[in-house]
A and B are shown apart, each in its own frame.
Chain A
Amino acid sequence: MFSRLRCSVDQCSRLVAHGETTCYLHSSNRESTLERVAALVSDGQRHHDLILTDGVLRNRMFSRASLATCSFARCIFCDVDFSEAKLNACFFDFCLFERCRFIGANARFSVFAGSSLLDCDFTDTLLLHANFMGSDIRNCDFSSSDLYYSNFSSSYLSHVLFVDCNLKNADFRFTERSSVSFRYSNYEEACFMQR
């Protein structure tokens, strides 16, 4: 679980990309590494400990993904469809998500901390215990999602919808918010104040 092999290139501390001895950036054939990992993500089989950091993925269909304890730190995802995907305890920290869809996905215990999420759709998503700490979230929709014990502390939220969500024990302390709607959600059970 949570494989942490380091890149074999001197002075590089990035994680080894799946099936390689180096990180993605030091891979002799980045395109083939990226395509190999992307093929595994989209094949509908359950995978764990896949690692691809610093990659760029555009226009992908990952709706059949079934992943656990994988790391995609510092990746860029543009127009990627994770709808109905299972993403259990996966790391997407310090990533950029642009126009990505997570409709109906199960991303419990996953980490999106330090990421930028722009124009993304998280409606009807299971985000129990998801970590969005320090993230920059703009024009995103989390409506009808279960955000039990999720953590948005220290994040920036602009034009974000949390309509009809379960917000029990969700953490919104130290957030900067503009045009954020919590309509029909149990926001009184979330935490907004420093104790």
Chain B
Amino acid sequence: MLAYSNTYLIGPEEGGDAILVDPGHIDMELIERIEQNRFTISDVLITHRHDAHHQGLGTLLKIYHPTVYAGSPTLFDVPVKALNDNETLLLSQFSVKAIQVPGHTIDSFAFHIGNALFTGDILYAGRIGNTNGVLEKALLLKGIKHRLLTLDERTVIFPGHGTISTIKIEKLFNHDLIDAMGIDDLKQLSHPSVIT
């Protein structure tokens, strides 16, 4: 049995068009939350191809008619728009920057919205995503280091599985990242007591 991923619902306080990130599982609790907030799902962002992150899409599309975005659009049975690296989309009322970080899968994307970063299986609290080999792991670490860890340290990470975190917490306590850091990277680490 597949494990479900975290699903994130993003919408304006007053209700209206909303975004769903990784519809891994659509249940009554989620639908009630969408309806209670007077949201209409206008856009769906899929972080990568693994089923746990989009297997609720069929159910969702029976209720709403969103535009679906993913890195590998041809893999889906429904119409999906292709994402491009560094592309900025205006969805609902939000500016969404798509950041491609391959390694876990070739089509892995993170989505940067305000000071929130939806990382899918690229980066979790305390670990990086699984990879199939050393090359993929090196690619993933390089992408995380250059594309994600360079963001504001207070950026809140919303991963595909597990707890939320921040860039600062990951820099300080994520052993996968610390093990991969060079001396120069370690010199740039700020002590927890340093305000960022």
Residue ranges of A at the interface with B (Cβ–Cβ < 8 Å): 1-2, 4, 13-14, 74, 89, 91, 93-94, 109, 111, 113-114, 129-131, 133-134, 149-151, 153-154, 169, 171, 173-174, 194
Contact = CB atoms under 8 A, between A and B. Distances in A.
A93 B169 contact: yes
Contacts, number: 79
19 contacts: A2-B156, A4-B154, A13-B196, A74-B195, A93-B166, A94-B192, A109-B163, A111-B165, A114-B169, A114-B173, A129-B162, A129-B164, A133-B125, A133-B165, A149-B162, A150-B163, A154-B126, A154-B173, A171-B126
B154 A130 contact: no
B138 interface: no
Given A133-B174, A149-B163, A151-B125, 16 more contacts: A2-B116, A93-B166, A93-B169, A94-B193, A113-B165, A113-B166, A129-B163, A130-B163, A133-B169, A133-B173, A154-B126, A154-B175, A171-B127, A173-B127, A173-B175, A174-B175
B114 interface: yes
Given A113-B165, A114-B192, A151-B163, A131 B125 contact: yes
Interface of B: 114-116, 125-127, 154, 156, 161-166, 169, 172-175, 192-193, 195-196
B163 A114 contact: no
A129 B158 CA distance: 11
Given A151-B162, A153-B175, A111 B126 contact: no
Contacts of B193: 94
B175 A113 contact: no
Contacts of A129: 162-164
A194 B128 CA distance: 12
B116 A131 contact: no
